[in-house]
Amino acid sequence: MIFGGAMAVFEGIAAIARTDLFIATRHYVFQFSLAGWGWVHLILGIALVLAGCAVLSGALWARFFGVAVAGLGALANFLWVPYYPLWALVLVAVNIFIVWALCTGMDREADDGRVA
Protein backbone atom coordinates (compact mmCIF):
# COMPACT_ATOMS: atom_id res chain seq x y z
CA MET A 1 0.00 0.00 0.00
CA ILE A 2 2.79 2.38 0.84
CA PHE A 3 4.45 1.73 -2.54
CA GLY A 4 1.22 2.24 -4.48
CA GLY A 5 0.46 5.39 -2.52
CA ALA A 6 3.96 6.76 -3.10
CA MET A 7 3.65 6.15 -6.83
CA ALA A 8 0.31 7.99 -6.86
CA VAL A 9 1.88 10.87 -4.93
CA PHE A 10 4.70 11.13 -7.49
CA GLU A 11 2.15 10.98 -10.31
CA GLY A 12 0.15 13.77 -8.69
CA ILE A 13 3.19 15.96 -8.12
CA ALA A 14 4.30 15.48 -11.73
CA ALA A 15 0.86 16.42 -13.05
CA ILE A 16 0.64 19.52 -10.84
CA ALA A 17 4.19 20.75 -11.45
CA ARG A 18 4.60 20.01 -15.16
CA THR A 19 1.41 19.86 -17.14
CA ASP A 20 3.40 19.60 -20.37
CA LEU A 21 4.75 16.20 -19.29
CA PHE A 22 1.47 14.46 -20.11
CA ILE A 23 -0.54 14.27 -23.32
CA ALA A 24 -3.85 16.07 -23.16
CA THR A 25 -6.32 14.22 -25.38
CA ARG A 26 -9.25 15.97 -26.95
CA HIS A 27 -12.83 14.75 -26.78
CA TYR A 28 -12.31 12.85 -23.54
CA VAL A 29 -15.46 12.35 -21.47
CA PHE A 30 -13.96 13.65 -18.21
CA GLN A 31 -12.69 17.19 -18.81
CA PHE A 32 -10.48 17.80 -15.74
CA SER A 33 -7.39 19.87 -16.15
CA LEU A 34 -4.12 18.02 -15.66
CA ALA A 35 -3.54 19.94 -12.45
CA GLY A 36 -6.98 18.81 -11.23
CA TRP A 37 -6.09 15.19 -11.95
CA GLY A 38 -2.79 15.79 -10.19
CA TRP A 39 -4.56 16.91 -7.03
CA VAL A 40 -6.85 13.86 -7.16
CA HIS A 41 -3.87 11.50 -7.41
CA LEU A 42 -1.91 13.38 -4.76
CA ILE A 43 -4.74 13.25 -2.21
CA LEU A 44 -5.49 9.57 -2.90
CA GLY A 45 -1.78 8.73 -2.72
CA ILE A 46 -1.35 10.44 0.65
CA ALA A 47 -4.44 8.67 2.00
CA LEU A 48 -3.12 5.33 0.74
CA VAL A 49 0.30 5.85 2.34
CA LEU A 50 -1.34 6.78 5.67
CA ALA A 51 -3.62 3.74 5.47
CA GLY A 52 -0.60 1.52 4.70
CA CYS A 53 1.21 2.81 7.79
CA ALA A 54 -1.90 2.20 9.89
CA VAL A 55 -2.24 -1.36 8.52
CA LEU A 56 1.37 -2.04 9.52
CA SER A 57 0.53 -0.88 13.05
CA GLY A 58 -2.31 -3.42 13.15
CA ALA A 59 -5.38 -1.15 12.99
CA LEU A 60 -8.42 -3.01 11.67
CA TRP A 61 -10.15 0.18 10.49
CA ALA A 62 -7.17 0.80 8.20
CA ARG A 63 -7.99 -2.32 6.20
CA PHE A 64 -11.48 -1.04 5.39
CA PHE A 65 -10.17 2.45 4.69
CA GLY A 66 -7.40 0.97 2.52
CA VAL A 67 -9.88 -1.05 0.46
CA ALA A 68 -11.97 2.07 -0.14
CA VAL A 69 -9.00 4.29 -1.03
CA ALA A 70 -7.36 1.65 -3.24
CA GLY A 71 -10.66 1.15 -5.04
CA LEU A 72 -10.92 4.89 -5.65
CA GLY A 73 -7.28 4.89 -6.76
CA ALA A 74 -7.96 2.14 -9.28
CA LEU A 75 -10.92 4.10 -10.62
CA ALA A 76 -8.92 7.35 -10.81
CA ASN A 77 -6.07 5.61 -12.64
CA PHE A 78 -8.52 3.97 -15.03
CA LEU A 79 -9.84 7.43 -15.88
CA TRP A 80 -6.21 8.62 -16.20
CA VAL A 81 -5.45 6.11 -19.00
CA PRO A 82 -5.71 8.64 -21.90
CA TYR A 83 -3.04 10.83 -20.29
CA TYR A 84 -0.38 8.23 -19.43
CA PRO A 85 -1.56 4.73 -20.47
CA LEU A 86 1.23 2.43 -19.30
CA TRP A 87 1.70 4.06 -15.91
CA ALA A 88 -2.06 4.24 -15.32
CA LEU A 89 -2.57 0.55 -16.11
CA VAL A 90 0.31 -0.46 -13.83
CA LEU A 91 -1.21 1.52 -10.96
CA VAL A 92 -4.67 0.06 -11.66
CA ALA A 93 -3.11 -3.41 -11.27
CA VAL A 94 -1.28 -2.35 -8.08
CA ASN A 95 -4.48 -0.96 -6.57
CA ILE A 96 -6.46 -4.07 -7.45
CA PHE A 97 -3.72 -6.17 -5.85
CA ILE A 98 -3.96 -4.00 -2.72
CA VAL A 99 -7.72 -4.55 -2.52
CA TRP A 100 -7.23 -8.30 -2.94
CA ALA A 101 -4.47 -8.47 -0.32
CA LEU A 102 -6.45 -6.47 2.23
CA CYS A 103 -9.60 -8.53 1.74
CA THR A 104 -7.67 -11.81 1.99
CA GLY A 105 -6.02 -10.64 5.20
CA MET A 106 -9.36 -9.74 6.77
CA ASP A 107 -10.59 -13.28 6.25
CA ARG A 108 -7.61 -14.74 8.12
CA GLU A 109 -7.91 -12.24 10.98
CA ALA A 110 -11.59 -13.10 11.42
CA ASP A 111 -10.71 -16.81 11.68
CA ASP A 112 -8.03 -16.11 14.32
CA GLY A 113 -10.49 -14.21 16.52
CA ARG A 114 -13.06 -17.03 16.85
CA VAL A 115 -13.70 -18.57 20.24
CA ALA A 116 -13.57 -22.37 20.05
- CA contacts within 13 A on the Cβ side of 38: 15
Contact between 105 and 51 (Cβ < 8 Å) = no
Looking at residue 19, its pLDDT comes to 64
Determine the average pLDDT of the residues in 43-52: 95
What confidence category does residue 116 fall into, taking pLDDT thresholds of 50, 70 and 90? very low
Determine the average pLDDT of the residues in 52-80: 92
Cα-to-chain-centroid distance, residue 36: 16
**pTM > 0.75: yes or no:** yes
